[in-house]
Structure 1
Amino acid sequence: MRRRPQDKNAPRKPPTAFMLYVKQRRLQSEQLASLAFGERNRILGSEWSNLPADQKAGFFNEAKELRDKYTQLLAEYKKSDAYKDWLASAGSTEMQKTKARGKHKLDPISGSVQPDCKIPIFTHEFLEYNRLREVVLRQLKKQAVQLEEETALLSKHVDNLVNAEAKTKSQLQAYQEQLDNEEQLLKRLQKELVAVLGEIVLPHTTVNDPNSKGTERITETSVESFLSQLGQLHKSKQHMDVVNKVIQALNSAIAKKVLKLLI
């Protein structure tokens, strides 16, 4: 397939992100700029493949801006008379070449076509570019394998997290059940203490004023306060008759299994 004649007046095609990177690196490094075309592009192709995505983004953005600008300029150029003149000239030239090729094909004397064109795909630049693309392709395949391995590791990590979450939920459920059981036992003990000690009136004193007067009866909501006051009386040796009465009531309830302290 023949290449279409080039329009020298048309806007120049914009460089790709990779070519922008190549240009920048050549300006940054004299050593790279001095290398042969193939060696330089092989090195830069490897660098580009390993370049992080955030660093590539700047080149892609610049390439997009240049491509958008080129598209706009090309659209404006195609409306110009210069483009129409070139189109007419290119069409005429192509028609002449087609006729010439047809004449060669119908040559009854030689029976062969005389080549009259150059094949650009066999140029040194194209071969070097093709080798560069192969290097980039190998790098991309390598990255694809690495990404697959990372994906497998992440999947395993996710599975471990799911298992850990399930285990944690199971432990929380077990702790909650144990807590609920303890609360039920505490409520039962409070009810049993109220039933056993409900008739006992406990003198209420304070540490600052042992002679203060007051009484307290045990209820389900005041069990802790009642037992705390009982402990103060026992420690101060005051109202020992009441303290002994409480002790006797508790011993009797335990003996009759009305009060179940052992679970």
Structure 2
Amino acid sequence: MEKQKRWPKGKKRKPYSRVRDESAPRKPQNAYVRFMNEKREGVASKNPKLSVAEVTKILGSQWTNLSQEDKKKYLVAAENDKARYLQKLKAHPPGLQPKASNMPGPSSSNAPPPKECSTPPANPGDIPIFTEAFLDHNKAKDAELRQLRKSNAEYAEQSAMLQRHIDNLRAAISRLDSETQSHVQNNAKLKNKLQNMRELIVKTFKDLPIPGSSMLPTAKNADTYMKSVQDIMEHPSDDNKDFISAVKEIVLKKRKRDFQTYIMCLASRTRTFGNDIFVTVAG
């Protein structure tokens, strides 16, 4: 038995090739290929800077958005072309055999034929296979997929940043709510204290009218009454000696702390009222 020869080391293999049968009928084109062949030149002329893959992507989008009524002429033409091809294929003799392999050795004529590409089309019936358009379409889809992955990563990063901002805002809102509740409680206490002090003033000075006006303190004019008392104490005169003496006597009898708290509640109207009146009384 003769030993089979090996392929010489370092020698390149010649690619496997078939002999083209020039008399074979031309393969039919589907509707999508017909649409692309018709519109490709127009899209490329309007967008000269776009690559072949980008032009194919635009054409694919236009085909997808095309109505069935507009697709009808391409579908009909594709069916007619397919019928023509099948009719001529029946009348055509069997095609030529592929060339023998250049592999040395006695069994080189029995070399197996190359495997055909088994990659399925993206959209069967619309995108042709084994054509330049098919490869361009795949390249465009790969580029689109990479862009989508990049955009997805950017959106995820932005989403994480926004989530951190939301968490910070929620924490700030919680702090503000707590502070607001504390202020509301303090205001309620001060309001209650102010009301008690007004009642005390009305009760204490009920028999002491303001000189020249005969105004007595009430729940409504307690603040105005005390402001008038402050003015008289800051600017004493001989006509107001009796009134000033009565005020000093009343203040000395009452707790200074209660009046000081009342004065603090009136800080929005006069901030020096409390200190002035008590310094005047002490003097």
Normalising by structure 1, we get a TM-score of 0.58
Q: What is residue 145 of structure 1 aligned with on the other side? A: 153
Q: Deviations over 1:219-252 (max 9, x none)?
A: 1211111112223333152322012102211210
Q: Say whether the 8 Å CA contact 2:197–2:259 is kept in structure 1.
A: yes
1:156 offset after TM fit, Å? 1.4
Amino acid at match of 1:192: L
1:261 offset after TM fit, Å? 3.6
Q: 2:191 aligned to 183, 193, 198, which one?
A: 183
Q: What is residue 208 of structure 1 aligned with on the other side? A: none
Q: Which 5+ residue runs of structure 2 have no aligned equivalent?
A: 1-26, 96-111, 119-127, 263-283
Cα pair distance change 1:172/1:190, threshold 3 Å: same
Q: Which 5+ residue runs of structure 1 have no aligned equivalent?
A: 33-39, 49-58, 102-112, 205-213
Name the one with the larger helix percent.
Answer: 1
Q: What is residue 255 of structure 2 aligned with on the other side? A: 254
Cα pair distance change 1:23/1:241, threshold 3 Å: farther
Bigger radius of gyration, 1 or 2? 2
Separation (CA, whole Å) in 1 of partners of 2:72 and 2:137: 29
1:143 offset after TM fit, Å? 1.5
Cα pair distance change 1:24/1:240, threshold 3 Å: farther
Normalising by structure 2, we get a TM-score of 0.54
Equivalence map 1:32-111=2 (5 Å): 40=51, 70-75=67-72, 89=84, 92=87, 96=90
Cα pair distance change 1:189/1:162, threshold 3 Å: same
Cα pair distance change 1:174/1:25, threshold 3 Å: farther
1:152 offset after TM fit, Å? 1.1
Q: What is residue 217 of structure 2 aligned with on the other side? A: 218
Q: How many residues are aligned here?
A: 206
Q: What is residue 230 of structure 1 aligned with on the other side? A: 229
Secondary structure, counterpart of 2:35 in structure 1: coil
Q: What is residue 173 of structure 1 aligned with on the other side? A: 181
Secondary structure, counterpart of 1:12 in structure 2: helix
Separation (CA, whole Å) in 2 of partners of 1:87 and 1:132: 28
1:122 offset after TM fit, Å? 4.6
Cα pair distance change 1:131/1:85, threshold 3 Å: closer
Percent identity, aligned pairs only, is 17
Separation (CA, whole Å) in 2 of partners of 1:92 and 1:124: 26
Separation (CA, whole Å) in 2 of partners of 1:242 and 1:157: 64
Secondary structure, counterpart of 2:154 in structure 1: helix
Root mean square deviation, CA, Å: 4.7
Q: Say whether the 8 Å CA contact 1:11–1:73 is kept in structure 2.
A: no
Separation (CA, whole Å) in 1 of partners of 2:254 and 2:71: 103
Amino acid at match of 1:162: R
Cα pair distance change 1:75/1:134, threshold 3 Å: closer
Q: 1:163 aligned to 159, 171, 195, which one?
A: 171
1:25 offset after TM fit, Å? 3.7
Q: Say whether the 8 Å CA contact 1:233–1:240 is kept in structure 2.
A: no
Separation (CA, whole Å) in 2 of partners of 1:41 and 1:7: 20
